[in-house]
């Protein structure tokens, strides 16, 4: 899955990109979801003749240390300082306006390492938000007819919490499933053990998406663990700074 600010749609197609990811946080603030909707949705707006996916905006919002409660997250725009609130229902509605083929449910992504109580709280809130986000998606006038919605498994590096989160996410019955909150600084062993426990539970006939992984060795390992898709800014970030991924390194 490709993320790029500096390549045209033609360039991405030539590189063999299959899916382009749009960042909901940035798109909802500038130019705005309504503008994208009025231009025919994300693919038409960007001139991309292929599949599209939007994240929920949660990862960027949580990096801003917002005020979070059971209802959602209150944060300030990095563009003009204006205050916004994003709820699970709101994230589903904004992404319906953006019109990508796949939208992600709003989740809680704790930084690692984190105390067990923080991870437990993230799993609990992620499960509650998953149900609310799914309800909003299915109740939207046309989102469910033209989009798919993926749930997200959290739990940090705690295998038991990962299993709990996976089971609770499966109960909501999404169209696909993602693993979030890994590849954020933990060791490879700390990443792979809980990942293996999760992929054993996730359906094999639905997409399984590892969020935020882009190093070549890691891609091989997670594919071997049963992951179908992944995204990361790493390759294009290196490219913007003149770096190239090679067998010996960057």
List the catalytic residues: 55, 231
Residues, the chain: 250
Per-residue b or e along 165-202, where b marks 16 or more CB atoms closer than 10 Å to that residue's CB:
bbebbbebebbbbbbbbbbbebeeebbbebbebbbeeb
Return all residues near 39 (Cβ < 8 A) that are at least 6 apart: 45
Tell me the C-alpha distance between 50 and 13, whole Å.
9
What would the two tokens of residue 124 be?
């609990």
Tell me the C-alpha distance between 35 and 54, whole Å.
15
Tell me the C-alpha distance between 25 and 150, whole Å.
17
């Amino acid at each position: 899955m490709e993320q790029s600010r500096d390549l045209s749609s033609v360039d991405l197609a030539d590189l063999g990109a299959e899916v382009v990811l749009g960042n909901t946080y940035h798109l909802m603030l500038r130019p705005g979801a309504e503008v994208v909707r009025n231009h025919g949705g994300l693919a038409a707006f960007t001139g991309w003749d292929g599949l599209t996916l939007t994240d929920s905006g949660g990862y960027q919002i949580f990096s801003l240390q917002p005020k979070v409660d059971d209802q959602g997250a209150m944060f300030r725009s990095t563009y003009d300082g204006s205050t916004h609130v994003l709820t699970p229902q709101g994230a589903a509605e904004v992404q319906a306006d953006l019109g990508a083929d796949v939208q992600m449910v709003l989740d809680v992504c704790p930084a690692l390492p984190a105390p067990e109580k923080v991870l437990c709280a993230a799993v609990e809130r992620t499960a509650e938000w998953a149900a609310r986000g799914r309800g909003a998606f299915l109740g939207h006038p046309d989102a469910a007819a033209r989009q798919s919605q993926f749930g997200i498994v959290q739990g940090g590096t705690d295998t038991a919490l990962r299993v709990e989160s996976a089971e609770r996410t499966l109960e909501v019955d999404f169209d696909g499933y993602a693993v979030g909150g890994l590849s954020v600084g933990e060791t490879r062993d700390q990443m792979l053990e809980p990942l293996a426990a999760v992929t054993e539970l996730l359906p094999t006939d639905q997409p399984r998406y590892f969020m935020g992984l882009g190093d070549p060795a890691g891609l091989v390992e997670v594919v071997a663990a049963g992951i179908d898709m992944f995204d990361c800014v790493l390759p294009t970030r290196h490219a913007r700074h003149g770096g190239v991924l090679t067998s010996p390194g960057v």
